[in-house]
Amino acid sequence: QVQLVESGGGLVQAGGSLRRSCHASGRTTFAGLGKGWLRQATGKAREFAAGINWTGGRTYYAESVKGRCTVSRDNVVNTVYLTMDSLKPEDTAIYYCAATTRTMFTGTISYSSAQYDYWGQGTQVTVSS
């Protein structure tokens, strides 16, 4: 089992930035897990935002956040990070970090929420206009 604990987020003004972190515990092979950040706006399906492979050498972003978003990880401290700039009201959502065993030790990034096995608690991010 893997426990994911998120921090960061909250209320941000449009045009501002946010930084979130997600610390994993409970499994010694955390370093091999693919990681992702997904989000869910009210009344909408959960959607992929950003993903990173186990080494951190490959990342992928949804079109909606590309150019404004950076995902990174530090396997020494078992933490993955998300930074978003130029926030828009449409970025308002509950943000989740997630981990998948399906792409362990590969360069593949999972784009579907169904492919993630472990989830953080989720944190509301509200962007005010």
pLDDT surpasses 90 at 114: yes
Question: What is the rounded CA–CA span in Å between residue 46 and residue 76?
Answer: 29
- Tens digit of pLDDT for each residue in 27-85? 766 788 999 999 999 999 999 999 999 999 999 999 999 999 999 999 999 999 999 99
pLDDT surpasses 90 at 103: no
**pLDDT value, residue 29:** 66
pLDDT surpasses 90 at 105: no
- Within 8 A by CB and 6+ apart from 76, the residues are none
Q: How many residues does the chain have?
A: 129
For residue 17, the Cα-to-chain-centroid distance in whole angstroms is: 15
**pLDDT value, residue 107:** 87
